[in-house]
Amino acid sequence: MLIRLLRTYLRPYKRPIALLVLLQFLQTCATLYLPTLNADIIDDGVVKGDTGYILGHGGLMIGISLVQVVCNIGAVFYGARTAAALGRDVRAAVFDRVQSFSAREVGHFGAPSLITRTTNDVQQVQMLTLMTFTLLVSAPIMCVGGIVLALGLDVPLSGVLVGVVPVLGVSVTLIVRRLRPLFRTMQERLDTVNRVLREQITGNRVIRAFVRDQYEEQRFRKANASLTDVSLGTGNLLALMFPVVMTVVNLSSIAVVWFGAHRIDSGGMQIGDLTAFLAYLMQIVMSVMMATFMFMMVPRAEVCAERIHEVLDTESSVVPPSAPVRALRRHGHLEVRGAGFRFPGAEEPVLKAVDLVARPGETTAVIGSTGSGKSTLLGLVPRLFDATDGQVLVDGEDVRTIDQQVLAKTVGLVPQKPYLFAGTVATNLRYGNPDATDEELWHALEVAQAKDFVSRLEGGLNAPIAQGGTNVSGGQRQRLAIARTLVQRPEIYLFDDSFSALDYQTDALLRTALGQETAEATVVIVAQRVATIRDADRILVLDEGRVVGTGTHHELMADNETYREIVLSQLTEAEAA
């Protein structure tokens, strides 16, 4: 998965990668040539007392060192830019894929895991790429070049390399094999920590209301301890790797000096050659150590690449139409024909053969007990998820064939849990219509019964809104969400229990103003309050995902027992009549 990911997203950067490899090759060749020059200075300059030879070759070494430095700087520059571009492209790809997900796919992965995959997992792959460009590219060149030049200096002494390299390779392989499963567990436990922390921040008021601070502290402590345990396991293995490598390096250096001294004593080798051989040995070992450092990062990056590909390879259940309808004949006619919806793996469908017709100029209400599928029914219209059975038609066209931009302009949804984005009142209201004027915003706020409290805020339309709208009350969030949809001016309004946080007076005023504003539009309201929907032109009663009654309030009170039970649980017989 890691190779596949890198091959896909590094393809546009072939030219800087080629230049990077060339620069790494030049700087590595310069590094390999320096010990040979140093050996010549010792043997032909220092031993013979030739000062001119020492100065001449010393100047050459300085020049080669400058070439090495310049090439290294260039390689690191292009490596850093390319790795950063890779991280940017992968993050953008993951973000785009997540944006295409329906509620089903988002629920499958979970928001904390998607955030971790988009940030931490991509960062691990980006870091591996940077280290590959700055370290790993030069490591094989240095290793092979060092071995060749060491053989050229003294073949018998090179027998030490035959023992050193395999021992290093086997040691590193054994440690890396144990690291890979630990890194996967680490990423999963990091997801858990993010999930617990996200829940505790979001549910801070509930925690305080029920005085569950200690319980939540224990939950976080447990998740944190689990992550710490696996991190310590990986840290112990990583800590073991360097002592093993350094032990092999030091033992090999002792062996070279020992056998090299005998070679010099017998006249088969010069002092300068022994110095150069030691330098090449260190370069060979350093290249192995660089590769070792890379191998430490590879297992975690592989796990992260797999998790990234899990997101990228997941197709949304809401598929854009291949030949989208870009113009609708009628204006706001909504029809649901035998619609059903079942979550993957669920024993029972959420919706079963639901029929609904909502026309322009009419208000259609949906009511039912908790869990009867009301919100799911409304979610089928803007394609938050697609019906698994039947059809949802807007202006006679199946919503699955309508261009998504056209559908978004035609259908306006006020969700059950209104969400406001960090910014200002104005930026939130213009979310569905960026070109709306201030006058249009104030008009929408007036209809939504939000003008008074917004005008009291410091800055008015420019008053700051915190992420999620946490700096305003629940009722104010609902009214701002309703105003946001009014600014959009769709032809079909879907209100998913959007008045639950309002007091009865505000609810009544809002519904009166909405009735005038949406007189020519199609309005579908899901509500728990009977008072909110009793005046609707048509009321649909849901029970366990099935339609058990359709009619006006008085018709249903007369002949529908389910509706009658719901009404009498909220109103007296006289109030209901």
Give dist(CA 213, CA 401) in Å, integer.
50
Query: Taken in order 282, 287, 288, 293, is the CA torsion positive or negative?
Result: positive
Q: Which residue has the higher pLDDT, 385 or 264?
A: 385
Average pLDDT of 309-335?
A: 84
pLDDT band at 93 (very low <50, low <70, confident <90, very high): very high
Residue in 369, 394, 373 with CA at minimum distance from that of residue 493: 394
469's CB contacts (< 8 A; 6+ apart) are 418, 419, 420, 428, 476, 477, 480
Per-residue model confidence as pLDDT tens digits over 399-416:
889 988 888 889 999 888
Q: What integer best gives the mean pLDDT of the chain?
A: 85
pLDDT band at 253 (very low <50, low <70, confident <90, very high): confident
Q: Residue 576: its pLDDT value, please?
A: 60
Q: Which residue has the higher pLDDT, 328 or 359?
A: 359
Q: Residue 570: its pLDDT value, please?
A: 78
Per-residue model confidence as pLDDT tens digits over 541-566:
998 889 888 988 888 888 888 888 88
Residues in the chain: 577
Q: Which residue has the higher pLDDT, 83 or 255?
A: 83
Rg of the chain over Cα atoms, rounded to whole angstroms, equals 35
Within 13 Å, how many C-alpha atoms sit on residue 256's CB side? 27
Q: Residue 575: its pLDDT value, please?
A: 62
pLDDT band at 574 (very low <50, low <70, confident <90, very high): low
Average pLDDT of 67-78?
A: 90
Tell whether the model's pLDDT for residue 577 goes beyond 70.
no
Give dist(CA 195, CA 220) in Å, integer.
10
Average pLDDT of 240-252?
A: 79
Share of the chain above pLDDT 70, in %: 98
pTM above 0.85, yes or no: no
Cα–Cα distances in angstroms (integers) from residue 468 to residues 421, 449, 454, 465, 471, in the given order: 6, 20, 17, 8, 8
Query: Taken in order 95, 101, 102, 106, is the CA torsion positive or negative?
Result: negative
Do the Cβ atoms of 483 and 444 come closer than 8 Å? Answer: yes
- Which of 202-206, 337-341, 500-504 is most confident? 337-341
Average pLDDT of 19-36?
A: 88
pLDDT band at 13 (very low <50, low <70, confident <90, very high): very high
Alpha helices in 459-541 (DSSP H): 474-488, 504-517, 530-533
Average pLDDT of 407-430?
A: 89
Least confident of 178-187, 287-296, 388-397, 482-491: 287-296
Q: Residue 58: its pLDDT value, please?
A: 81
Q: Residue 47: its pLDDT value, please?
A: 67
Q: Residue 158: its pLDDT value, please?
A: 73
